Structure 1
Amino acid sequence: MTEKLYYTDMYGREFDASVISAENGSIVLDRTLFYPTSGGQPNDTGILKATNGDIHIVDVRQEDGTIMHIADGRVDLASGEKVHGIIDWEKRYIHMRYHTAVHIIDGVVNNDYKNGLLTGGQIYDDHARVDFSFDIIDKDLITEIISRAQDIVNSGLKVFQREITRSEALKIPGLSRTEPGRQLIEKLPVVRIIEIENFDFQADGGTHVANTKEVGQIEMLKIENKGKGHKRLSFRLN
């Protein structure tokens, strides 16, 4: 099992690790800062410095608890070999900013608009999208939601993680606002929570900034009608 350093040190950029296995360009380490694609947040990229030179990591995946670092070609690594990892910090940080922005928008909708819920989202390198369950949505409503979200951003609230047991999590209404998320909580012995002080908390497995001010300015890009009860907002951060 790989130690997930990105949970305990979300601002970490470099780390040392030992190779567990390396086959067909897929590397498993005993510990890593590389975030695997999960929950709408893209994977990290970067390099592993090894005895025989730099290895460029272009993809990171997690399957059955195993985190696989995918190199851009063949690798020459032995089990037990020491490597030094460096993640692409600029890419990671923009993902953190967008992920926290999604949580803020979700919190605004959950707290202030009881006729709709945020039902999904996806983060990219230069924008993000969120899906809502509103039957009707227009530019005025989205402008209002973004304005309230921006107020939270500008308030400079602390963002932090904590862990609770599954039994505790199941007693908290709305800890996960999607059915797959609720089903996942039922399977986890420990549930990780991302909390924005005095505003919102959700079960979450991603990385986030430490203060809402780091999110920056939220700018609406477009609104799409994906069918009844399915509306989509795309936005970017400045």
Structure 2
Amino acid sequence: MPTELVFRDDAYAREITARVVSAAPEGVVLDRTNFYARAGGQPGDVGALRWTGGEMVVADTLKGPEDTVLHLPAPEAALPPVGTEVAAVLDWARRHRLMRMHTSLHLLCSLIPGAGVTGGQIGADKSRLDFDLPDPPTKESLTEGLNALITADHPVSETWITEAELDANPGLVRTLSVQPPRGSGRIRLVRIGDPAAPVDYQPCGGTHVRRTGEIGRVEVAKIENKGKANRRVTLVLAGE
């Protein structure tokens, strides 16, 4: 049975109740989870599973077989009994930083239109995107543009389209190295800004803040040459 992905509908669900479907050193499967499984450059969540008389520290979260989610126990951690009801508790401070970073990278995409994204990585301390771009803008201009979009406090929302609709609009996909997951018949799109004139609009399965103003000030730390036309842009949350 697939794991219900609570974070898809509510990225702010810091703690939920769930039931243990299976438990092994390779991972604990719950019937539902607020933990994001590592994918698309976003790290897996960490935190804890708590039940009456016990607790398991979650060291990472990965995708499991048949659309399940594996909550990886820390070394020597006790495993919850199958069938037990647990509280799934996120390390919220880390997750929220990742949400702010991830949304910032969408804004960065909007400032470099037309350039394909060849790679990326989201981190709590720094994040980066690689662009197929021989002549990138300056660090200063990108930093200024990002903070203007953040200060504008644009709403962040999601919508779903069919795979056929995505095929009819291939320009929605900015990533050259990773394609949106297929097979369910639906593709999740994340939109920043007014639906009539969005700042950014592209397929994404990750977690984001509700409004850009929640991100806080960011800074482009560096732009590196990673190949003939590959430029790596690294962001940090300024003053943190």
Contact 1:133 1:231 in 2 (8 A): yes
Measured after TM superposition, the shift of residue 14 of structure 1 is: 0.4
Deviations 1:74-117 (A, max 9, x none): 4343221111111011000000000000000001211xxx4x33
User: How far apart are the structure 1 equivalents of 2:105 and 2:222?
Assistant: 15
TM-fit CA distance, 1:181: 4.1
> For 1:1-238, what aligned pairs fall within 5 Å after superposition?
1-24=2-25, 26-64=27-65, 65-72=67-74, 73-110=76-113, 114=114, 116-137=115-136, 141-182=138-179, 184=180, 187-197=183-193, 198-238=198-238
- What amino acid does structure 2 have at the position aligned with 1:26? G
Structure 1: 4+ residue segments shifted above 6 A: none
Separation in structure 2 between the aligned mates of residue 235 and residue 74 of structure 1, nearest angstrom: 35
Alpha-carbon offset, residue 161 of structure 1: 1.2
Percent identity, aligned pairs only, is: 34
What TM-score, normalized by structure 2, do the two folds share?
Answer: 0.90
Name the SS for the 1:201 alignment partner. Answer: strand
Does the Cα contact within 8 Å between 2:117 and 2:177 map onto a contact in 1? no
Q: Is contact 1:40-1:123 (8 Å) kept?
A: yes
Distance 1:185 1:67, change over 3 A: closer
Please tell me whether the aligned partners of residues 194 and 204 of structure 1 are also in contact (alpha carbons under 8 angstroms).
Answer: yes
Instruction: Give the Cα separation in 2 of the matches to 1:70 and 1:186.
Output: 25
* Matched position secondary structure for 1:163: strand
Asked if the contact 2:55/2:78 (under 8 Å) is kept, the reply is no
Gaps of 5+ in 1: none
**2: distance between equivalents of 1:206 and 1:155?**
22
- Between 1:37-46 and 1:72-81, the stretch displaced more is 72-81
Q: Distance in 1 between matches of 2:54 and 2:177?
A: 42
Count of residue pairs brought into register by the alignment: 231
Distance 2:200 2:234 in 1: 22
Question: What TM-score do you get using the length of structure 1 for normalisation?
Answer: 0.91
> SS in structure 2 opposite 1:174?
helix
Q: Describe the shift of the 1:7–1:98 C-alpha distance in structure 2 as closer, same or farther (beyond 3 A).
A: same
**Structure 2: unaligned runs, 5 residues or longer:** none
What secondary structure, in the 3-state scheme, does the structure 1 residue paired with 2:82 have? coil
